[in-house]
Amino acid sequence: MQPAFDAPVNVFIVHWNRPEECLKTIEAFLDQGVPMKISIVDNASQEERFQFLKERIPSGIELLRLAENRGWGGGVNVLLKSWLAAQGSSFCFVTAHDALPVAGCLRQLLEAMKANPRLGIVCPEYGKPELPTFSPIHGARLVPIPSRTNGTVELVAFAHGTLMLFRRECLEQIGLFDERYFAYGDETEIGLRARKHRWDVAVAWGAVVINPGSWTPTPLLGYLWARSSLLMARTYGGWSSVIIRASLMLARNVVLSFSPASRRTLSSPTARLLAIRDFLLNRFGSPSPELLARFRRTAG
């Protein structure tokens, strides 16, 4: 039996400079057959790309443009605050601008929420058997596992960030995304925080989302990942975990220093050193304009 939904569920899409992918995501969501209200927050995209999206989105979809790029958490928090302040649906989807849920995905996630009142966050799988795991020293990882039966809802350390379904009561208790992460890591941390507050976090096997992954590994992404991992290590493991993780990064840097090609990739030794520096100096949130310019020169 299909569960009854108390109101159209809110769908919050975080967009930045990918209008074509975002339009495909909107279409994929509307094809799910679930009553919904879609809102898009645009993280200060380039003018022509914002206009491309604005001129083509279906009617009835809210589009909010921010004056500056506030990152993943900062962008979606704008919509989440309004949602929590109003009376509306008990659940909301948060999704990237390039997420493509397969048929039945959203309904299966909603059914999982209805079946477990302590389930605070649930996400779909990526179409292959990998379990999200976390340790303060090794960070967030996807570990290969034996295939699970479709319909299984398995508790995990954190939910995939491509597409997440939140329960209102969970967010009211634990708070919103930590904007210090800016991008990469905040979606992991909110799951860890939910579990710390004794909410369940799960993957619904058989509910599938496709994430084309249109980004390119760059030193900037390496910097953000490294900085985020150190912040999570401190939050969930203390300074001893930070020291060990930073030491592993430095040891890896020695090896990578013999590979000039790594300077322009996710594994950039310079990016890791800058991440360690900024973590120790409590420099979080959006990278400085000087740092962004430096990474652009390196990538070029």
Q: Which of 237, 241, 261 is nearest to 249 (CA)?
A: 241
pLDDT of residue 269: 86
pLDDT of residue 1: 38
Give the separation between CA 148 and CA 154, rounded to whole angstroms. Answer: 9
Element holding 273 (H helix, E strand): helix 269-280
C-alpha 102, offset from chain centre = 19
Q: Which of 219, 204, 217, 220 is nearest to 165 (CA)?
A: 204
pLDDT of residue 263: 53
- How many beta carbons lie within 10 A of that of residue 284, not counting itself? 16
Residue ranges of the chain that CATH labels 3.90.550.10? 9-210
**3-state SS, residue 115:** helix
For helices 219-237 and 186-196, angle between their N-to-C axes, nearest 10 degrees: 10
For helices 219-237 and 289-299, angle between their N-to-C axes, nearest 10 degrees: 130
Q: Which of 190, 265, 192 is nearest to 223 (CA)?
A: 265
H helix runs in 10-147, sequence order: 19-30, 47-56, 71-85, 105-115
Residue type, 230: L
Full-model pTM: 0.92
CB of 227 closer than 8 Å to CB of 285:
no
- Tens-of-pLDDT digits for all 300 residues of the chain? 344 555 799 999 999 999 999 999 999 999 999 999 999 999 999 999 999 999 999 999 999 999 999 999 999 999 999 999 998 899 999 999 999 999 999 999 999 999 999 999 999 999 999 999 999 999 999 999 999 999 999 999 999 999 999 999 999 999 999 999 998 899 999 999 999 999 999 999 999 999 986 555 588 888 999 999 999 999 999 999 999 999 999 998 887 766 655 555 556 888 899 999 999 999 999 998 888 888 777 665
Extract the tokens encoding 57: 């989105």
Extract the tokens encoding 185: 């890591």
Give the separation between CA 64 and CA 17, rounded to whole angstroms. Answer: 14
CB of 237 closer than 8 Å to CB of 139:
no
Extract the tokens encoding 197: 């507050």
As a whole number of Å, the end-to-end CA separation of the chain is 55
**3-state SS, residue 152:** coil
Residue recorded with tokens 């009376």: 87
Name the fold adopted by 9-210.
Answer: Spore Coat Polysaccharide Biosynthesis Protein SpsA; Chain A (3.90.550)
Torsion of CA 277, 283, 284, 287, to 10 degrees: -80
CB of 279 closer than 8 Å to CB of 231:
yes
